[in-house]
Amino acid sequence: MNTKEGAIAAQPPSGEVAGDGSALAEDIQQLRDLLDAEDVEGARRLVKELEVRWPDSERIRHYAHVLAPPKVRMRSDITLRPRKQEWEWLRQHGHEYPGFWLAVLGDQLVAADPDGSVVRTKAREVPGEERPVIHYQPEGLS
């Protein structure tokens, strides 16, 4: 833990009881341990419990906000064309590229490579407004 984080942990934010600081610090450390282990779902479950246990904690509210699942919203000002051709191409030909990333536009394969960054680069190079569908074809699926 760096010095700045240690100083923050030692001083409870406004609304937190100083006497409960060690219990709060332990709970925050448990949350950090889950994040260090890349267990985001476990951290999301724990932070919900901590919000109930520490309703006045600004740090817990911050973690709850940061760990909240993303919200998807549709924009009414953007119209998308149906991707039926791309999905049909993938249904018919995707199995021919096991373990590959694929970029498909219309009924044409734009790029295929095991390295997704190669496929994304080639997909960005496609002229025009339309962007290819990028898809990973798992091995062993037919």
Q: What are the residue ranges spanned by the domains of the chain? A: 3-67, 84-137
More confident residue, 131 or 17: 131
3-state class (DSSP) for residue 99 = coil
What does pTM read for this prediction? Answer: 0.47
Name residue 52's amino acid.
V
Chain segment 51-93, per-residue pLDDT in tens: 999 999 999 999 999 999 988 887 888 777 889 999 999 999 9
Which of the four pLDDT bands, split at 50, 70 and 90, describes residue 141? low
More confident residue, 112 or 6: 112
Q: How does 36-47 read in b/e, with b if 16+ C-beta sit within 10 Å? A: eeeeeeebbebb
- 100 forms beta bridges with 137
DSSP secondary structure of 7-69: HHHHSPPTTS-GGGHHHHHHHHHHHHHHHHTT-HHHHHHHHHHHHHH-TT-HHHHHHHHHHSP
* Angstrom distances, CA of residue 67 to CA of 9, 35, 44, 49, 78: 19, 10, 6, 13, 28
pLDDT at 124 over 90: yes
Mean per-residue pLDDT for 103-123? Answer: 96
- Identify the residue whose tokens are 């779902």: 41
Give the range among 7-11, 25-29, 47-51, 108-112 with minimum mean pLDDT. 7-11
Name residue 141's amino acid.
L
